[in-house]
Structure 1
Amino acid sequence: MKLLYITESVPNRDPMLGDGSSMIPFEVLRNLPADIAVTLLTFAGPVDVPAEIRTRCNTVHVMPTRRRGWAAILSLGGLTGFGKHQRSTAKAHTTAAKLSAAHEATLIHGPHALFLAHSVTGPLVLQTVDPWSIRAAMETSVAHALWPAYRFREFLAVRSERRLPPRARLLTVGAQDAVSWSEHLARPARSIPNGAERSTRRASTAGSPVACFVGSLNYGPNVDSVGVLINKIAPLVWQQVPDARFVLAGRRPAPSVRALAGPRVDVLANVPSVLEVFHSADVAVFPDEHGVGIRNSVREALAAGLPVVATPVAAREQAAHPLLTVAPDPQEFADHIVRRLTTRGWHRPGADEASLRTWRTVAQEYADEIGKAIKSDSAGILHGRSPA
């Protein structure tokens, strides 16, 4: 199979400059079946195409992006999709159209690249990560100012998604998001959750017990989460475990997150490996109050054998697991953290890990969707419909 894979940013796992939209295609590309010949079309950014991605792909095309000033003007200061307008150049449109005509199918990954769905021909699969309309609705609900502007952006996101080509197979990460998205658009949408890699966690070392939070520390919902953790929950924990330490680890911490650092609070920016954070902690904690999709950090912590305490929002769509505790209110949340910190140790791999969802499984599900898109397109031609 010849596949054109279009990504909104260079597939990578850079600890500072990467994100979910770059991490997923990085792992999918590394794990796609070998009989799929991939041409990658992506967009220039702060991260170069990793050597292992260049090796996996037959050809790599890196498109230039517009200057930030022009993109901001075209997007009305970011209101109508700054990332899209950065990428929506004439060269991107013509290159995508030409390449898609020479491939059996096209997979477009990321909401800021979906505009190219209208330029490509042939079988098509679209992966939005988190549907932009659903994320915009979440941001509208928590907006403290400029509510009409947020509401208008939400309207534009829904309108744009409703105009996606009817032949496209729609994918997202979260199952609940897939259901909501399908209802909004009145067409099928499928969830393909992310994977995780199993790792063996070492025994806790001597010293102060540690609770960790891992996530992008410049992302609004995560900024709110760590504020709740340190200002509301940590004091309740310190009443019972005075020497407990809290580690906040993730890329590009916002100033308000950095300000939380203190004698018992460490803020670790752009850590090379979150597994090292998990391996040195006694419990991972996620007191999320809002968010969309599936929190991959919860899945990764469990795969590392680390106990997790999470709110219902943070634990959304996670399968039951002996190491996962869901606590809805701050006092109960703190009590569960205390229990984990005062019964320190590590989880030994057991039967509960047999069902760990790996990236190889995820990549095969992507391949299956691409195959279905090709089959559907062929059936349409046989029944007299013209190819898109």
Structure 2
Amino acid sequence: MEDLLLLVHRIPYPPNKGDKIRSWHLLRHLAARYRVHLATFVDDADDWQYVPHVRQLCASSHFAPLNPRRARLRSLRAVLANRALSLDYYSDRSMRGWVRRTMGGAAIERVVVFSSPMAQYAQGWPGARRIVDLCDVDSEKWRAYAEKKPWPASLLYGYEASRLLRYERKVAADSDAALFVSAPEAELFRALAPESAERIGWFGNGVDTAFFSPDGDYANPFAPGKPALVFCGAMDYWPNVDAVQWFARDVFPAVRARVPQASFVIVGARPAPEVQQLAQLPGVTVTGTVPDVRPYVAHAALSVAPLRVARGIQNKVLEAMAMAKTVVVSPQALEGIDAAAGSEVLLAERDTDMAATILAALADEPSRAAIGRAARLRVEASYGWDARLAALDALLEAPRQPGGAPAIPAGIPSPSWNRA
């Protein structure tokens, strides 16, 4: 096996945690094909327990502790240097030293970067092929925050949006390929970084259909006779916080007016204070961390994804579909997912449609079951991880041009690769 350096901003485990699903499958896939040298951060004390499991997949590894509060304070110094806050947030001397020693001690010709701030550790080795998985256009996320947050937060988010976009463009220009999680994200970045259009592609997220299966024997966490609407996600992540706040206050009351026994259950770790306050509303439950989200999805009447700000693929939607559950989505939550509205998911085109769509679905159990079965079939047909990662394999193994530069294939055998 040949050697490969993998840089990931957060430890890629556990594999069923929303923001780590893609990085976990990336590591697993690469470890089966290369001797992987992994550098990553651990920003949650609970995640140290996973280090031995991740380490066993790697030829060598470095796990740098990251305290989010200290990192946020440290990132403010970036303002003085006119650079993105995210770069200083993920800046670490020990990681730089480990990467330098590893690159100097092994014949590493391939570097894979997961998340733009980690690209700062991949500089200085022009002979190595560098593939960057940016996942989403993060700068656009910060721009959306700036539009929705009050001053002075809006000012800081606007600053980060412009500086991070500048850095994302540099990363793409310096890389052999810059990949995203969906065709819309890739198209958006092509418009923002036209100088790198030929380097930009995408591969979509997959789903572990064996793990997220409707056939498991899951204990029912809900009270009998109370149809549950379930939202799953990291509940300290602002787009999720915004989604559940809007749904609980502006949508769910209309549902309960017609179905008084209905409940809205918010499942996810680290609920922000404003999310915890929602538990005071009639019919709303906030679980906090649960050992397994699958029982909540399996026994829900509906899965809901009412996101108003979203970037890339929503794993929560794919996982609920894999469990043969009818998912009611906003347009933002459906972006980049290959699913037919009306037969594989239920789409609420406008905010005013959400309650009506849910009420109609609650009243028609046979239709819900049929949509759930179709959703499962769609995931099985379109979202296997190995097929999704085939584009990356082709890039990493592409022949080199004279002079050592990698030749990016014009026609990679994957529908997910879409060059300008």
Shorter-chain TM-score range: 0.7 to 0.9
Identity of aligned residues (%): 22
Equivalent residues of 2:15, 2:25 under 8 A apart: no
Per-residue CA distance 1:13-49 (angstroms, 9 max, x = gap):
288xx651x3322122223362322111223433224
Query: How many Å separate the matches in 2 of 1:288 and 1:127?
Result: 23
Tell me the SS of whatever aligns to 1:213: strand
Equivalences for residues 111-260 of structure 1 within 5 A: 111-121=116-126, 122-146=128-152, 147-164=154-171, 165-186=173-194, 187=196, 188-198=199-209, 199-201=212-214, 206-260=224-278
Q: Does 1:338 align with 2:351?
A: no
Equivalent residues of 1:309, 1:324 under 8 A apart: yes
Query: How many Å separate the matches in 1 of 2:406 and 2:147?
Result: 46
Equivalent residues of 1:6, 1:109 under 8 A apart: yes
State the Cα distance separating 1:362 from its structure 2 match: 2.9
Equivalent residues of 2:116, 2:168 under 8 A apart: no
Tell me the SS of whatever aligns to 2:310: coil
Unaligned runs of 5+ in 1: none
Equivalences for residues 1-388 of structure 1 within 5 A: 1-13=2-14, 20=19, 22-32=20-30, 34-46=32-44, 47-48=47-48, 49-63=50-64, 68=71, 71-76=74-79, 80-100=83-103, 102-121=107-126, 122-146=128-152, 147-164=154-171, 165-186=173-194, 187=196, 188-198=199-209, 199-201=212-214, 206-261=224-279, 262-321=281-340, 322-344=343-365, 346=369, 347-348=372-373, 351-372=377-398, 375=399, 378-381=400-403
Equivalent residues of 1:13, 1:19 under 8 A apart: no
Per-residue CA distance 1:290-314 (angstroms, 9 max, x = gap):
2211211111111111001111111
State the Cα distance separating 1:61 from its structure 2 match: 2.0
Unaligned runs of 5+ in 2: 408-420
Equivalent residues of 2:176, 2:406 under 8 A apart: no
State the Cα distance separating 1:213 from its structure 2 match: 1.0
Greater shift, 91-100 or 38-47, is seen at: 91-100
Per-residue CA distance 1:348-374 (angstroms, 9 max, x = gap):
4775454140223233333223223xx
Tell me the SS of whatever aligns to 1:211: strand
Per-residue CA distance 1:173-199 (angstroms, 9 max, x = gap):
132111111221221311221111223
State the Cα distance separating 1:88 from its structure 2 match: 2.5
Q: Assess, with a 3 A threshold, how the Cα gap between structure 1 residues 175 and 236 changes in structure 2: closer, same or farther.
A: same
Equivalent residues of 1:303, 1:353 under 8 A apart: yes
Equivalent residues of 2:62, 2:95 under 8 A apart: no
Provide the residue aligned with 2:418 in structure 1.
Answer: none
Query: How many Å separate the matches in 2 of 1:183 and 1:115?
Result: 24
Greater shift, 283-292 or 303-312, is seen at: 283-292
Q: Residue type matched to 1:32 in 2?
A: L
Q: Assess, with a 3 A threshold, how the Cα gap between structure 1 residues 153 and 69 changes in structure 2: closer, same or farther.
A: closer
Return the TM-score normalized by structure 1: 0.87
Greater shift, 106-115 or 337-346, is seen at: 337-346
Equivalent residues of 2:84, 2:163 under 8 A apart: no
Q: CA RMSD in A?
A: 3.0
Q: Assess, with a 3 A threshold, how the Cα gap between structure 1 residues 384 and 118 changes in structure 2: closer, same or farther.
A: closer
Equivalent residues of 1:210, 1:341 under 8 A apart: no
Q: Residue type matched to 1:37 in 2?
A: R
Higher relative contact order (CA 8 A, sep 6+): 1
Greater shift, 230-239 or 332-341, is seen at: 332-341
Query: How many Å separate the matches in 1 of 2:148 and 2:36?
Result: 40
Equivalent residues of 2:72, 2:89 under 8 A apart: no
| Number of matched pairs | 378
Q: Residue type matched to 2:90 in 1?
A: R
Per-residue CA distance 1:240-280 (angstroms, 9 max, x = gap):
21111111111211111111114511111122222222112
State the Cα distance separating 1:342 from its structure 2 match: 2.7
Equivalent residues of 2:114, 2:132 under 8 A apart: yes
Equivalent residues of 1:283, 1:306 under 8 A apart: yes
Q: Residue type matched to 1:371 in 2?
A: E
Provide the residue aligned with 2:417 in structure 1.
Answer: none
Q: Assess, with a 3 A threshold, how the Cα gap between structure 1 residues 90 and 223 changes in structure 2: closer, same or farther.
A: closer
State the Cα distance separating 1:83 from its structure 2 match: 4.4
Query: How many Å separate the matches in 1 of 2:326 and 2:80?
Result: 43
Equivalent residues of 1:28, 1:362 under 8 A apart: no
